[in-house]
């Protein structure tokens, strides 16, 4: 007969095991409370860090451009099927052989107009914008809403977020990048030089690094600037003229961009086209530009400064209307050849181009103001002063024959016509006829 189980031993063992379990549980509890405490502390520190970044507000600290949301966005972009779905949906073309374009700076002035034009003809468009506070971010948000109405999704993030950019290229095989994100403005470079280096140099390099490693490599069209002509005295400005005498840090960073483009084309076979924009204006424009804040100040009865050169000559610009510039951007995209590299290696020489996109007829700032006076029906309080030594050049004038030859670029809007459209939009915007404003584009 089998002997009964030794219950006394089992009981002891069970008691021992239960003792060990209790000890372990107590230890576990102590360890998890410690962990909980540490996690709470870490979360508190992270929150304090974010709040500190946001302080002091812009008005107290003009040198700080808010991009705090970038940190937050990069923390969240990785996840979410919904986010990926939006990215895919937005960038899917709806025409045969349509492009799939990543538009950086999509909530910016030129970015918004180009995104809409591309979407309208059936290309897939995904936007990227950091919504920084260089100028009123609510205008950027209004543009974002307009884009959303046309099924264009704008990812919130910065050019310098390599992980975010890689993720976008992992999800979408972009055929093109229209790179318009930049720190703009000539005179602001004296107040905040680092923001120019961060966006126009470091950000551009980051984008090119991701693009060269992408498979397929996209073709890139990007915004350079008329300011690269700097102290050039040959007139009108042609692409073959000197651009090694920039008059502002802004111009220097754009010129650096042109040289960087050369390098990435040379080493990695990226197809790159730079477009030198000449003082672009129009509806949904940038409030930091003279035509925009002159309009605001004239309507508010505030004085405006009209610059003259040191030798008392009038200052002039080749003001270019936004619709003309959009046609130029689309033309450049349409004629961009494919990049030739893959897996970060060049297979064959690739296209490298640079074009002026101007209006070909410079207008003085005095004339600009008199057009605004008649459109607004208000006399401006004009202060004519010598141009501060802050990077401005006395005049710009584009020769656009190269862009005409290669993709039929032909500006058709004179300053009076373009400003009339701008003023109409401006009045609508500030009298909150939002629907009508959105119908304009
Ligand atoms: O062509 C370009 O590439 C550049 O065009 C503009 O730069 P800018 O031509 O200086 O445009 P505004 O700042 O709008 O100035 C227009 C004209 O008004 C003059 N101005 C500006 C401000 C002011 O208070 N008074 C005044 O007479 C300027 O000297 C300039 O001649 C943009 O701001 C730049 O981002 C762009 O790259």
Res 116 pLDDT > 80: yes
Q: In angstroms, what is the span from residue 147 Cα to ligand 1's centroid?
A: 27
Q: Which residues are catalytic?
A: 250
CA–CA separation, 90 vs 79, rounded Å?
Answer: 17
pLDDT of residue 12: 35
Q: What is the pLDDT of residue 8?
A: 38
Q: Which two structure tokens, joined as six digits, stand for 425?
A: 């939009």
Find the mean pLDDT for residues 1-25.
38
Ligand 1 atom nearest to CA at 387: 29
Q: Which of these, 182, 222, 221, lies nearest to 203 by C-alpha position?
A: 182
Distance CA 288, CA 414 (A): 21
**Least trusted range by pLDDT, from 39-43, 114-118, 298-302, 335-339:** 39-43
pLDDT greater at residue 72 or residue 333: 333
Structure tokens belonging to residue 112: 């918004």
Say if ligand 1 is within 6 A of residue 253 CB. Answer: no
Cα–Cα distance measured from residue 284 to residue 441, given in angstroms and rounded to the nearest whole number = 9
Ligand 1 centroid distance, CA of 432 (Å): 27
Amino acid 78: pLDDT: 54
275 lines ligand 1 (CB under 6 A): no
Res. 46: pLDDT tops 80: no
Integer Cα distance of 245 and 317 in angstroms: 18
pLDDT at 71: 40
Instruction: Give the ligand 1 atom nearest the CA of 394.
Output: 31
pLDDT at 136: 92
Q: Give tens-digit pLDDT for 350-377.
A: 999 999 999 999 999 999 999 999 999 9
pLDDT of residue 15: 40
Q: Does domain 62-440 have CATH number 3.40.50.720?
A: yes
User: Ligand 1: which residue has its CA nearest to atom 15?
Assistant: 290
| Beta-strand relationship, 153-156 and 219-225 | unpaired
Q: How far is the CA of 368 from the centre of ligand 1 (A)?
A: 12
**Ligand 1 lined by 175 (C-beta under 6 Å):** no
Both tokens assigned to 144: 């974002």
Flag whether pLDDT at 27 surpasses 50.
Answer: no
Side-chain half-sphere exposure of 71, counting CA atoms within 13 A: 10
pLDDT at 125: 98
Percent over 90 (pLDDT), the chain: 76
Kindly give the number of the ligand 1 atom that is closest to the alpha carbon of 281.
14
Spatial separation of the C-alpha atoms in residues 58 and 135, rounded to whole Å: 10
Lowest mean pLDDT among 2-11, 28-37, 85-94, 350-359: 2-11
| Predicted pLDDT of residue 100 | 98
Note the pLDDT tens digit of each residue in 294-336. 999 999 999 999 999 989 999 999 999 999 999 999 999 999 9
Instruction: Check whether 55 has a pLDDT greater than 90.
Output: no
DSSP secondary structure of 173-214: --SEEEE------SGGGGT-HHHHIIIIIIIHHHHHHHHHHS
Name the pLDDT band for 34 (thresholds 50, 70, 90): low
**Where in 296-431 does DSSP place strands (E)?**
303-308, 316-317, 320-321, 352-357, 363-364, 381-386
pLDDT, tens digit (0-9, with 9 covering 90-100), for 143-200: 999 999 999 999 999 999 999 999 999 999 999 999 999 999 999 999 999 999 999 9
Two tokens at 316? 């002039």
When pLDDT is averaged across residues 77-94 and rounded to a whole number, the result is 89
Spatial separation of the C-alpha atoms in residues 440 and 435, rounded to whole Å: 9
- The answer to whether the CB of 155 falls within 8 A of the CB of 128 is yes
pLDDT bucket at 258, cuts 50 / 70 / 90 = very high
Task: Please tell me the distance between residue 160's alpha carbon and the centre of ligand 1 in angstroms.
Answer: 27
Mean of the pLDDT values across residues 224-236?
97
Q: How confident is the model at residue 262 (pLDDT cuts 50, 70, 90)?
A: very high
CB distance 211 to ligand 1 below 6 Å: no
User: So where are the chain's domains?
Assistant: 28-61, 62-440
> Ligand 1 within 6 A of 361 CB?
no
Residue 281, classed as helix, strand or coil, is strand
Give the distance, in angstroms, between the CA of residue 149 and the centroid of all CA atoms in the same chain. 20
pLDDT score of 63: 35
For 381-440, how does the pLDDT look when each residue is reduced to its tens digit (9 = 90+)?
999 999 988 889 999 999 999 999 999 999 999 999 999 999 999 998 766 655 555 555
pLDDT category at 17 given cuts 50, 70, 90 is very low
Whether the CB of 227 sits within 6 Å of ligand 1: yes
Q: How far is the CA of 426 from the centre of ligand 1 (A)?
A: 19
ipTM above threshold 0.90: yes
More confident residue, 168 or 343: 168
Mutate to test the pocket of ligand 1, among 190, 293, 328, 365 (most ligand atoms within 8 A of CB): 365
Nearest CA to ligand 1 atom 10: 186
State residue 38's pLDDT score. 61
- Whole-number pLDDT of residue 146: 95
User: So what's the pLDDT on residue 431?
Assistant: 62
């Amino acid at each position: 007969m089998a002997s009964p189980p030794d219950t006394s031993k089992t009981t002891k063992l069970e008691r021992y095991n239960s003792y060990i379990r209790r000890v372990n549980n107590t230890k576990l509890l102590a360890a998890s409370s410690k962990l909980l405490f540490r996690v709470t502390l870490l979360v508190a520190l992270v929150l304090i860090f974010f709040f500190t970044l946001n302080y002091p507000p812009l008005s107290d600290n003009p040198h700080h451009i808010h991009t705090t949301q970038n940190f937050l966005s990069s923390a969240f972009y990785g996840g979410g099927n919904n986010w990926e779905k939006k990215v895919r949906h937005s960038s899917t073309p709806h025409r045969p052989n349509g492009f799939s374009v990543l538009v950086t700076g999509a909530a910016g002035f030129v970015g918004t107009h180009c995104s809409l034009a591309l979407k309208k003809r059936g290309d897939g468009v995904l936007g990227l914008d950091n919504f920084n506070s260089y100028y009123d971010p609510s205008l950027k948000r209004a543009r974002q809403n307009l884009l959303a109405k046309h099924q264009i999704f704008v990812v919130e993030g910065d050019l310098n977020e390599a992980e975010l950019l890689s993720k976008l290229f992992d999800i979408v095989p972009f055929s093109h990048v229209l790179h318009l994100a930049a720190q703009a403005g000539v005179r602001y470079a004296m107040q905040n030089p680092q923001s120019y280096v961060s966006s126009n140099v470091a950000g551009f390099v980051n984008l090119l690094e991701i693009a060269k490693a992408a498979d397929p490599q996209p073709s890139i069209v990007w915004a350079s600037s008329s300011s690269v002509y700097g102290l050039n005295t040959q007139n009108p400005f042609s692409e073959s003229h000197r651009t090694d005498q920039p008059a502002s840090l802004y111009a220097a960073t754009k010129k650096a961009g042109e040289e960087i483009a050369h390098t990435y084309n040379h080493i990695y076979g990226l197809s790159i086209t730079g477009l030198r924009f000449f003082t672009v204006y129009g509806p949904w424009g940038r409030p930091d530009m003279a035509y925009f804040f002159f309009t605001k100040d004239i309507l508010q009865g505030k004085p405006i400064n009209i610059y003259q050169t040191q030798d008392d000559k009038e200052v002039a610009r080749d003001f270019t209307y936004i619709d003309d510039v959009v046609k130029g951007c689309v033309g450049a995209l349409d004629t961009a050849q494919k990049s030739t590299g893959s897996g970060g290696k060049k297979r064959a020489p690739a296209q490298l181009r640079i074009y002026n996109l101007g209006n070909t007829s410079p207008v003085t700032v005095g004339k600009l103001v008199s057009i605004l006076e008649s459109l607004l029906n208000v006399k401006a309080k004009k202060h004519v002063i010598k141009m501060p030594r802050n990077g401005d050049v006395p005049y710009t004038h584009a020769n656009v024959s190269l862009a005409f030859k290669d993709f039929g670029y032909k500006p058709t809007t004179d300053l009076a016509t373009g400003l009339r459209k701008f003023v109409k939009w401006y009045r609508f915007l500030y009298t909150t006829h939002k629907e009508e404003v959105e119908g304009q584009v």
